[in-house]
Amino acid sequence: MIRTLIAFAALIFALPSAEARSERAGELEWSIIIHGGAGVIERGAMDAGTEAAYRAALQDALELGGGMLMDGADGVDVVEAVIRVLEDDPKFNAGRGAVFTSEGRVELDASIMVGHSRAAGAVAGVTGVRNPISLARAVMEHSPHVMLIGDGAESFAAERELETAEQSFFFTERRWQAMERQVERMGLPVPPRPEGAPDPEPVREGALDLMEREHRFGTVGVVVMDTNGITVAGTSTGGTTAKRWGRVGDTPIIGAGTWADQRCGLSATGTGEYFIRFNVAAAICHDANRLMFEQHSFAEAAQIAADRMMERLEADGGDGGIVMLFVGEPIWAMNTPGMYRASWGLGREPYVAIYGDE
């Protein structure tokens, strides 16, 4: 048994990392994959203009990240830059445009992890930092800790002189009205509108129903492999509409919503409680690494591992999806009808999709 374990360990270390693979290929390989949330996103549910706007947002984020990678940018810089753009886009449930808690405020979560070093940073329950992903990076690089929460995270952000924002900055009418509808269903009082928020305005008929379905699991995430062969993953979210009691999902939990190791990087979106219980992000990457020993290609190993986990989650009542890079190979999996997603890399055409059958 000991000899078997030693041989197995030796084989693991002999397998190519993304960096070694890039060097042997003699090219500066790079890869990026993005998601913008998963849910009941079905054909015909969105008008043509809305669908086009989401596709354009994903395309813009993809071009930003891909362009940086082609220019040799560090993977951490790329992940932060792309997620900041998505956090500032009110179409997504992260940063500006995040959902509201039952008390009428945003509470934001984010995390980032670097594969070759296992360096990681995360924040939860942040209310006044414009870009939580930048704060998560600061925790990783400028503190001895991995996760900071609430007031402590805000104090650290002030020390690092990160850009702050009032609650009114994050405000969008459709998110507010979705929260109002949810707290009424829950039998709770509707909180007052945040100070500085615009006057109430009508939301297009059907938009709230669509939003509640498509962004029930709203989150944004990015995974890259830079030209040094280093994999970096990051995730950011506003959580769930009308959440209570300081609820935190999987996004800032390293191993649940975000993971990166020498070969694998993953960002998840879904019912956070299930993703935490199953340690989804790390479990998929570990399974993919193991499956390489069963005569599978990198892409096959990763896809099998991801699909297995999605099936397991669905059987237990957990919904959502993941995007991942495995030795630079882009993989996605979901057990929902759709997921906003995009990918690009050396030798591959840009890919943008919304529906599950794309």
pLDDT given at position 3: 40
pLDDT given at position 40: 73
The more confidently predicted of residues 120 and 295 is 120
User: Is pLDDT at 333 greater than 50 in this prediction?
Assistant: yes
User: Is pLDDT at 82 greater than 50 in this prediction?
Assistant: yes
pLDDT given at position 28: 81
Assign 2 a pLDDT band (cuts: 50, 70, 90): very low
Catalytic annotation present for 219: yes
Assign 1 a pLDDT band (cuts: 50, 70, 90): very low
What is the average pLDDT value for the chain, to the nearest integer? 90
CA proximity to 257, closest of 87, 102, 133: 133
Give the model confidence (pLDDT) of 162-210 as tens digits: 999 999 999 999 999 999 999 999 999 999 999 999 988 776 655 555 5
131/164 Cα distance (integer angstroms): 8
Which residues are CB-neighbours of 278 under 8 A, at least 6 positions away?
Answer: 256, 309, 312, 313, 316, 318
CA proximity to 94, closest of 230, 247, 269: 269
pLDDT given at position 43: 83
347/351 Cα distance (integer angstroms): 12
Q: Are strands 147-149 and 120-126 parallel, antiparallel or unpaired?
A: parallel
pLDDT given at position 57: 97
In percent, the amount of the chain with pLDDT more than 90 equals 81
**Catalytic residue of the set 219, 227, 258, 271:** 219
Q: The pTM is what? A: 0.91
Assign 5 a pLDDT band (cuts: 50, 70, 90): very low
pLDDT given at position 7: 37
Give the model confidence (pLDDT) of 229-287 as tens digits: 999 999 999 999 999 999 999 999 999 999 999 999 999 999 999 999 999 999 999 99
pLDDT given at position 11: 41
Q: How far is CA 79 from CA 99, 104, 130, 173, in A?
A: 22, 29, 16, 28
127/243 Cα distance (integer angstroms): 14
Give the model confidence (pLDDT) of 86-130 as tens digits: 999 999 999 999 999 999 999 999 999 999 999 999 999 999 999
